[in-house]
Amino acid sequence: MTKNWTVTRILRDRNAGLYFTGLVVSAFGTSALGLAAGVWVKDLSGSNGLAALCMFAVWAPTLCGPALGTIADRVRRKPLLIRTNLALAALLLTLFAVDSRADLWLLFTVLLVYGTIVVVQDPAESALVAAVVDRDLLGDFNGLRMTAVEGMKLVAPLTGAGLYAAFGGPAVASLDAVTFALAAGLWLFVRAHEERPRLPKGDWRAQTAEGVRELWARPGLRRLVVAGGTMMFLASLSSSTNYAIVEALGHAPAYTGVLYVAQGVGSVAVGLVSGPALRRLGERRFGAAGIAVAAVGVAARAVPSDPVVLAGGAAVGVGLPCVLIAAFTAVQREVPGPLLGRATATANTLLFTPNVLGLAAGAALVELADFRVVLSLVGLALISTGAWLGLVGTGTLRALSGRRRPGSDQSPASAERTSARSPSDANPA
């Protein structure tokens, strides 16, 4: 039993364990800086709007994901990750020059470059994981990665806030720089036998389009990504009601932090069981089940009861990561290695851009309608999305699997993984 547990399966694999540890270290620094940057801008400018722009600066490059993803298919992924992590470490140290409102342009520039590099790193990480992590461990790894990222969100922001209060913004930037340098050092020891990639044909636009077509031409992947993007849009509408929920419960706005903790605990928990669940249910049913659980959790948040609202938040935390884990695992398993960077970047854009749009729409919607109505409608829409993925997708995926030739179960990427692993080989939210 123990050897099948996700943590054991990952840590017993040398490459997977090293790679995962690097991700945990990096995620800690990123989460710590995420909160501190907004507080830093607020202190220097006194503007809530400018403080909110910090997250926008980091997320904006996601819109260019398909184009930026071509970089991950033009070079070896391991050196790319090591060099970009060291570049981020050096970039963050420039924030020591930020000391007044007049210096905020530098902070926003760093955040924008930071977000751009992360958009390049995400597909490179996914492609490298697919090359060095055993095929049977991909679901476990992606689930545990989700657990680590969400777990860091429960701990790191408080650490960053405390460090900022004691020593200021440059200290938090230094912490993040150190974590990137440590991650680069850990990934240096990952055994990845990557051949020099052949340069894709055509110009940048043609290469980008090729990655988009590769993802969109696979009905199973297309359905997972569309369902995931729809879910992220609806979830962001739901999260826009948080302050209204807290007000209805009779608490101060700071109680919103408790809601985030409840959701984070759910996300940590589901990552630990996602590997076995994926093997048992498959990507499509696992994703559909997660959306259904999230739908119940969203509806529960409309009930004027602290225990019910917190339980609903935990259910949302359990459900939301499922389709993301399923989608990225399916992309890693299905897409050929030379196209994996561009396809993953396209999936990232389609999955996470709706989140930004939903936050904007939700901010307006919550002013126009009762939050209970919003939550009820979002819950119904999520149920419909889960049903569409779980029921309508059956025939499509069955037809897709029926077209595979006997003995062609391995994609070029999986063939690369087999040869690269010799004795042993080593993911986004």
Helix (H) / strand (E) containing 155? helix 138-167
Question: How far apart are the C-alpha atoms of 374 and 299, rounded to whole Å?
Answer: 9
Instruction: Output 103 or 193, whichever has higher pLDDT.
Output: 103
Cβ pair 258, 307 in contact under 8 A? no
For 178, residues 6+ apart whose C-beta sits below 8 A from its C-beta are: 29, 89
Which of residues 31 and 170 earns the better pLDDT score?
170
Determine, yes or no, domain membership for 400: yes
State pLDDT tens for residues 282-297. Answer: 888 999 999 999 999 9
Q: Say if 33 falls within a structural domain.
A: yes
Residue 427 lies inside a defined structural domain of this protein: no
Structural domains in the chain (count): 1
Q: Determine the pLDDT at residue 193.
A: 67
| pLDDT tops 90 at residue 197 | no
**Could you tell me the pLDDT band of residue 159, with boundaries at 50, 70 and 90?**
confident
Mean pLDDT of all residues in 292-306: 92
Better pLDDT: 290 or 258: 290
Average pLDDT over residues 404-415: 36
The reply to whether 307 falls in a domain is yes
Contact 77, 341 (CB under 8 A): yes
Predicted local confidence at residue 355, as pLDDT: 78
The pLDDT assigned to 194 comes to: 62
Residue 416 falls within a domain, yes or no? yes
* Domain membership of residue 81 as a residue range: 2-420
Under 8 Å CB-to-CB from 159, ≥6 apart: which residues? Answer: 28, 32, 175
**pLDDT higher than 50, residue 424:** no
CATH for 336: 1.20.1250.20
Q: State the pLDDT at residue 48.
A: 65
**Residue-wise pLDDT tens digits, 175-192:** 999 999 999 998 888 876
Which pLDDT belongs to residue 346?
80
Work out the end-to-end distance of the chain between its first and last CA atoms, rounded to an integer number of angstroms. 28
CA distance 311 to 303: 11
pLDDT of residue 311: 94
* 426 inside domain: no
Are 342 and 208 in contact by the 8 Å Cβ rule? The answer is yes
Alpha carbon of residue 58 to chain centroid = 13
Q: Give the best-scoring range by mean pLDDT among 10-19, 98-107, 182-191, 240-249.
A: 98-107
Mean pLDDT of the chain: 78
Q: What does the pLDDT average to over 370-386?
A: 91
- If you write DSSP's letter for every residue of 22-62 in order, what string do you get? HHHHHHHHHHHHHHHHHHHHHHHH--HHHHHHHHHHHHGGG
Residues 139-148, mean pLDDT to the nearest whole number: 78
Decide if 216 is inside a domain: yes
Strands in 127-257 per DSSP E: none
Tell me what pLDDT residue 140 has.
77
Lowest-confidence pick of 76-80, 154-158, 274-278, 318-322: 154-158
pLDDT tens-digit profile of 32-67? Answer: 887 788 888 888 888 766 776 787 788 788 878 777
Q: What is the DSSP string of 259-325?
A: HHHHHHHHHHHHHHHHHHHHHHHHHHHHHHHHHHHHHHHHHHTTSS-HHHHHHHHHHHHHHHHHHHH
pLDDT surpassing 80 at residue 72 = no
pLDDT of residue 180: 92
- pLDDT over 90 (residue 307): yes
What's the pLDDT at 211?
Answer: 66
Instruction: Give tens-digit pLDDT for 75-128.
Output: 788 888 899 999 999 999 999 999 898 999 999 999 999 989 988 888 888 777
Range with lowest mean pLDDT among 261-270, 292-301, 357-366: 357-366
Per-residue confidence (pLDDT) for residue 383, from 0 to 100: 92
Q: Tell me what percent of the residues of the chain surpass a pLDDT of 90.
A: 22
Q: Answer whether residue 263 shows pLDDT above 80.
A: yes
**For residue 429, is it within any domain?**
no
pLDDT(275) > 60: yes
pLDDT at 423 over 70: no
